Amino acid sequence: MERNRTSVYQHRSSHRHRPSLEPVIALTKITGLAFRYSALVGGALLDQVGNYTRRYLAGQTCAIISDSNVAPTYADCIRKSLVSAGFRSILITIPAGETSKTLRQVGAICDRMIAAGLDRRSFVIGLGGGMIGDISGFVAAIYHRGIPHIQIPTTLLAMVDSSIGGKTGVDTRDGKNLIGAFHQPSLVIDDLDVLKTLRRRQFNQGFAEIIKHAVIADPKMFRSLQSWEARAASALQWLIKRNIEIKSRIVAKDERDRTGQRALLNFGHTVGHAIERAGSYRKFLHGEAVSLGIVAACAISVKRAALRPDQRAAIVDLLARFGLPTRLPQNFPRRKILDTVKFDKKFESGKIRFVVTPRIGVAYLTDDVTLEDIREAVEQL
């Protein structure tokens, strides 16, 4: 294995052999909800995709949408599995990277699907990180006014965050995710084996969202992360399952992001998004910017929500433990961060809706936070 790649846990069997980790279902049929789907988390699942799909979907044809980094390694195995389960598939590979997440690309993908004869009984499989999850989900949302979507996330961030919750979409010239639709997947398949080829920086950024989930909703998971040594596949399986449960439970209360419940998931994101933008989306990965945003949100929480300084320190330590940034470089254009926050839509009428934490495991939205508080927190970063 190359040095800059990471074996994220000690798990040696290949996905050609019998399942090494029995899949666990992270969420299933929560009654009373608009959406019902299952997330399978386990090892060696890719060559079982056909079988699992058969259990959940009736269609016969599908488009696998993937990117130029992921498809060469993983698409073949899935295609073979689909064939042996009696499905016909086409593979559509788009260039890796956020710049592919556009309406133009959506149009090109839909054209290919039409040309291949896919119809309203077909379905879409998104195989890749969050970029692919978002664009393939959007294609599924609009193709023939909506066809089923299977998510096969291949980054840790996509497994614990973007594949759950049904937000799909693309970027425009003016900003990220400005066009999109809510479209819940029919099935999510998390094969832990694919994480072995993920670069370490990409792997670590997933922990920013995991730590966010712990801070807003799960003190027990926070404590487990503090002593996170175990790299056994089963530990990672538990962690991913737990994060899916946390996110889906929050989303279930406010699927369309209207009542403020879902907004709790934005903890660390107001400043995080502004940092991403100020760094022209090149300096920091999303999770890294969120890590810095969490540090800022903690400073603000000490001031406005009586978060204990020792708890704040524990959160910052945990982020650092997973290789995430907790300080901005000296020469980073901090003013740009403030400019972006000011124009943030949440700053309507001079007030911002900001997520704070009074103690680890609890979060709430407040409009007590001022721009001055944010300026101070960014200065300290």
Question: Where is 139: in which H helix or E strand?
Answer: helix 130-142
Q: Are 16 and 4 in contact (CB under 8 A)?
A: no
Coil/strand/helix, residue 112: helix
Distance CA 49, CA 76 (A): 12
The interface region with ligand NAD, picked from 40-48, 56-64, 85-93, 122-130 by CB under 6 A, is 122-130
HSE toward the beta carbon, residue 127, CA cutoff 13 A: 29
Q: Which is nearer to ligand NAD, 290 or 305 (CB)?
A: 290
Q: Which is nearer to ligand NAD, 120 or 253 (CB)?
A: 253
Residue 190 within binding range of ligand NAD, rule CB under 6 A = no
Interface with ligand NAD (CB under 6 A), residue total 28
Can you say how many angstroms the Cα of residue 210 is from the centroid of all Cα atoms in its chain?
10
From the list 129, 148, 268, 293, which residue makes contact with ligand NAD (rule: CB under 6 A)?
129
Residue 161 within binding range of ligand NAD, rule CB under 6 A = yes
Question: Where is 91: in which H helix or E strand?
Answer: strand 88-94
Residue 286 within binding range of ligand NAD, rule CB under 6 A = yes
> C-beta of 66: minimal distance to ligand NAD in Å?
9
> C-beta of 198: minimal distance to ligand NAD in Å?
4
Q: Which is nearer to ligand NAD, 177 or 234 (CB)?
A: 177
Residue 307 within binding range of ligand NAD, rule CB under 6 A = no
> C-beta of 266: minimal distance to ligand NAD in Å?
11
Report the side by side order of strands in the sheet with 88-94.
Answer: 24-25, 38-42, 187-191, 149-153, 123-128, 61-67, 88-94
The interface region with ligand NAD, picked from 47-55, 97-105, 251-259, 328-336 by CB under 6 A, is 97-105
From the list 38, 93, 154, 301, which residue makes contact with ligand NAD (rule: CB under 6 A)?
154
From the list 93, 122, 151, 202, which residue makes contact with ligand NAD (rule: CB under 6 A)?
202
From the list 82, 157, 251, 341, which residue makes contact with ligand NAD (rule: CB under 6 A)?
157
Q: Return the amino acid letter for 273.
A: H
Q: Which is nearer to ligand NAD, 241 or 286 (CB)?
A: 286
From the list 136, 197, 266, 291, which residue makes contact with ligand NAD (rule: CB under 6 A)?
197
Residue 194 within binding range of ligand NAD, rule CB under 6 A = yes
The interface region with ligand NAD, picked from 24-32, 92-100, 276-284, 359-367 by CB under 6 A, is 92-100
Distance CA 245, CA 26 (A): 6
What is the per-residue binding string for ligand NAD in 62-91, x denoting contact by CB under 6 A? -----x-xx---------------------
What's the DSSP call for residue 111?
Answer: H
**String of b and e for 58-93 (b: at least 16 CB within 10 Å)?**
ebebbbbbbbebbbeebbebbbebbeeeebebbbbb
Distance CA 42, CA 20 (A): 8
Single out the residue of 51, 47, 96 nearest to residue 70, CA to CA. 96
Residue 273 within binding range of ligand NAD, rule CB under 6 A = no
| 242-271 binders of ligand NAD (CB under 6 A) | none
Distance CA 156, CA 162 (A): 10
Coil/strand/helix, residue 30: coil
Distance CA 225, CA 208 (A): 12
Q: Which is nearer to ligand NAD, 77 or 314 (CB)?
A: 77
The interface region with ligand NAD, picked from 93-101, 117-125, 256-264, 294-302 by CB under 6 A, is 93-101
Coil/strand/helix, residue 31: coil
Residues within the interface to ligand NAD (CB under 6 A): 67, 69-70, 96-98, 101, 128-132, 134, 154-155, 157-158, 161-162, 165, 167, 176-177, 194, 197-198, 202, 286
